[in-house]
Amino acid sequence: MEFTEVAVGEAGCGPYGVAVDPDGDVWCTQVHRGRVGRLGADGDFQDVPVGPADCRPTVIVAGPDEAMWCSLYQGNAIGRVGLDGSVRCFGVPGAHPYGLAVGPDSALWFTAMNTDRIGRITVDGAITEFDLPTPGGFPSMITGGPDGALWFTLNRANAIGRIDLDGGVRTFPLPTPGAAPVGITSTGDSLWFVEIGAGQIGRITPEGDIVEHPLPDREARPHAIIATSDGCCWFTEWAAGRVGRITPSGDVETHPLPHARSEPHGLAAAPDGRLWVALESGSLAWAMLGRGQF
């Protein structure tokens, strides 16, 4: 697999999260500049300020309302960027929101790292927050599950969490101490997650059964993970400058990015068959996987 790099934004902007909008344009957060950028099919890149330079936009997703939504970690807000470039921000005081996902109820759900909560925001900006039973658990990424609930990682509590639409919470401790889970995704029957502290990829069923798969390089520090329609998952290896693929049976292959110190974070799959990766070193990178996998 060969990746092509596309430089975006000004030097030091720090592409971090990446997502694809309904038109196929690629969006990324610029964690060091307080901006969100949009890369069109023609290669034109435009960015939009979503707050002060230090608001640290992190995760970005396509919303259910033809807009892009992002978490502003240091800005303590959830941002909405319309496809026309309009911006609205909704404050979540003290929360340090990070993970963000669209739920089955057409609302957006987010993790509040600093307040040990899971939040829900409607497309109109109404926010509800639910307390977690794990003080200091550091809720990180979140995704919709195959069971109609939201699933999330508890980085410092070394656990996976589940929250239903009414706010009921269950947690599932991980077998490996210090695994420090971050990214999480759903393949339609299970949840897959990365263990940045243990160099492993984990799988948990809706019933809570967990299997862990060690990576060839246990020091790679896997960070983000997404599922594709063939039942496989792709993940970033932040410390090694690589992207990996794991099959449903746990077989792993890894592919180097153009630069070992590119610091890959978020990934996104585009309808044209490209896998996009946000590189905090200053670029987006893509590789063609084929339409049949997405």
Task: Report yes or no: 6 and 262 within 8 Å, Cβ to Cβ.
Answer: no
How many Å apart are CA 140 and CA 110, to the nearest integer? 9
Considering Cα of 264, then 286, then 202, then 133, what sign does the dihedral take?
positive
How many Å apart are CA 164 and CA 61, to the nearest integer? 20
Task: Report yes or no: 64 and 103 within 8 Å, Cβ to Cβ.
Answer: no
How many Å apart are CA 127 and CA 144, to the nearest integer? 18
How many Å apart are CA 34 and CA 72, to the nearest integer? 8
Residue 48's Cβ-side half-sphere holds a number of Cα atoms within 13 Å equal to 20
DSSP 8-state class, residue 74: T
Considering Cα of 144, then 147, then 153, then 157, what sign does the dihedral take?
positive
- Please indicate whether residue 265 is annotated as part of the active site: yes
Task: Report yes or no: 123 and 64 within 8 Å, Cβ to Cβ.
Answer: yes
Q: Which residues of 255-292 are buried (b: 16+ CB within 10 A; e: fewer)?
A: eebebeebbbbbbbbbeeebbbbbbbbbbbbbbebeee
Catalytic annotation, pick one of 32, 96, 223, 265: 265
The catalytic residues are 265
